[in-house]
Amino acid sequence: MELLSGGEMVARALEDEGVEYIFGYPGGAVLHIYDALFKDCKVPHILVRHEQAATHAADGYTRATGKPGVVLVTSGPGATNAITGIATAYMDSIPMVVLSGQVQSHLIGEDAFQETDMVGISRPIVKHSFMVRRTEDLPAIIKKAFHIAASGRPGPVVIDIPKDLTRPEEKLEYNYPTTVKMRSYSPAQRGHTGQIKKAARLLLAAKRPVIYAGGGVVQGDGSALLTQLARRLNYPVTNTLMGLGAFPGTDSQFLGMLGMHGFYEANMAMHHSDCILAVGARFDDRVTNTVDKFCPGAKIIHIDVDPASISKTIMADIPIVGPVQSVLQELLLQVEALQEKDAGLPDQSSLDSWWQQIDAWRAAHGLFHARRYEKSDMIMPQQVIESLYRATGGEAYVTSDVGQHQMFAAQYYRFDKPRRWINSGGLGTMGFGLPAAMGAKLAFPDADVACVTGEGSIQMNIQELSTCNQYNLGVKIVNLRNNYLGMVKQWQDMQYEGRYAMSTYEDSLPDFVKLTESYGHIGMEVGSLSELDAAMEEAFAIKDKLVFLDIFVDPREHVYPMHVAPNGAMKDMWLSKNERT
Amino acid sequence: MRRIISMLMENEPGALSRVIGLFSQRGYNIETLNVAPTDDPTLSRLTLTTAGDDLRIEQLTKQLNKLVDVVKLADLTEGAHVERELMLIKVRAVGAARDEVKRTTDIFRGQVVDVGPTIYTIQLTGPSDKLDAFVAAMPEVDILEVVRSGVAGISRGEKVLSL
Please tell me the predicted confidence (pLDDT) of residue A509.
95
Please tell me the predicted confidence (pLDDT) of residue A182.
93
Active site residue ranges of A: 51, 113-114, 163, 487
Q: Do A184 and B10 touch (CB under 8 A)?
A: yes
Of A83, A98, A88, whose CA–CA distance to A23 is shortest? A98
Compute the distance between CA of residue A547 and CA of residue A474 in angstroms, rounded to an integer: 7
Contacts of B7 in chain A (CB under 8 A): none
Confidence check: pLDDT of B138 > 80: yes
Please tell me the predicted confidence (pLDDT) of residue A545.
97
Which of B9, B21, B70 lies nearest to residue A124, judging by beta carbons?
B21
Contacts of A188 in chain B (CB under 8 A): none
Query: Which residue is closest to A315 within chain B, CA to CA?
Result: B55
Q: What is the ipTM of this complex?
A: 0.93
Please tell me the predicted confidence (pLDDT) of residue A372.
56
**A22 phi/psi in degrees, rounded to 5:** -110, 130
Instruction: Characterise A119 by phi-psi region: left (phi > 0), alpha (psi -120 to 50), beta (else).
Output: alpha
Compute the residue count for chain B.
Answer: 163
Q: Do A185 and B68 touch (CB under 8 A)?
A: yes
Q: Do A308 and B70 touch (CB under 8 A)?
A: no
pLDDT tens digits along B91-133: 999 998 999 999 999 999 999 999 999 999 999 999 999 999 9
Please tell me the predicted confidence (pLDDT) of residue A578.
85
Please tell me the predicted confidence (pLDDT) of residue A506.
83
Please state, in angstroms and as integers, the Cα–Cα distance from residue A499 to each residue in A403, A462, A507, B151, following that order. 18, 28, 18, 54
Q: Going edge to edge, which strands form the sheet with A299-304?
A: A254-257, A237-239, A209-213, A275-279, A299-304, A318-321
Q: Do B68 and A120 touch (CB under 8 A)?
A: no
Query: Which residue is closest to B8 within chain A, CA to CA?
Result: A184
The helices-and-strands tally (H runs, E runs) of chain A is 21, 22
Compute the distance between CA of residue A533 and CA of residue A549 in angstroms, rounded to an integer: 12
Which of B17, B59, B71 lies nearest to residue A123, judging by beta carbons?
B17
Please tell me the predicted confidence (pLDDT) of residue A577.
85
pLDDT tens digits along B8-58: 999 998 999 999 999 999 999 999 999 999 999 999 999 999 999 999 999
Q: Do A184 and B70 touch (CB under 8 A)?
A: yes
Contacts of B60 in chain A (CB under 8 A): none
Shortest Cα distance, chain A CAs vs residue B6, angstroms: 15
In this structure, the number of other CB atoms found within 10 A of the CB of residue A178 comes to 7
In sequence order, which residues have a C-beta less than 8 Å from that of residue A385 and are 6 or more positions away? A408, A409, A411, A412, A413, A452
**Per-10-residue mean pLDDT, chain A, length 581:** 94 97 98 96 97 98 98 98 98 98 97 97 98 97 98 98 97 96 93 98 98 98 98 98 98 97 97 98 95 95 97 96 98 97 95 98 79 76 96 98 98 97 98 98 98 97 98 98 95 94 92 98 97 98 97 94 93 90 88
Please tell me the predicted confidence (pLDDT) of residue A526.
98
Query: Which residue is closest to A157 within chain B, CA to CA?
Result: B68
Q: pTM value? A: 0.96
Which of B21, B63, B71 lies nearest to residue A123, judging by beta carbons?
B21
Please state, in angstroms and as integers, the Cα–Cα distance from residue A191 to each residue in A188, A240, A332, A404, following that order. 7, 22, 13, 38
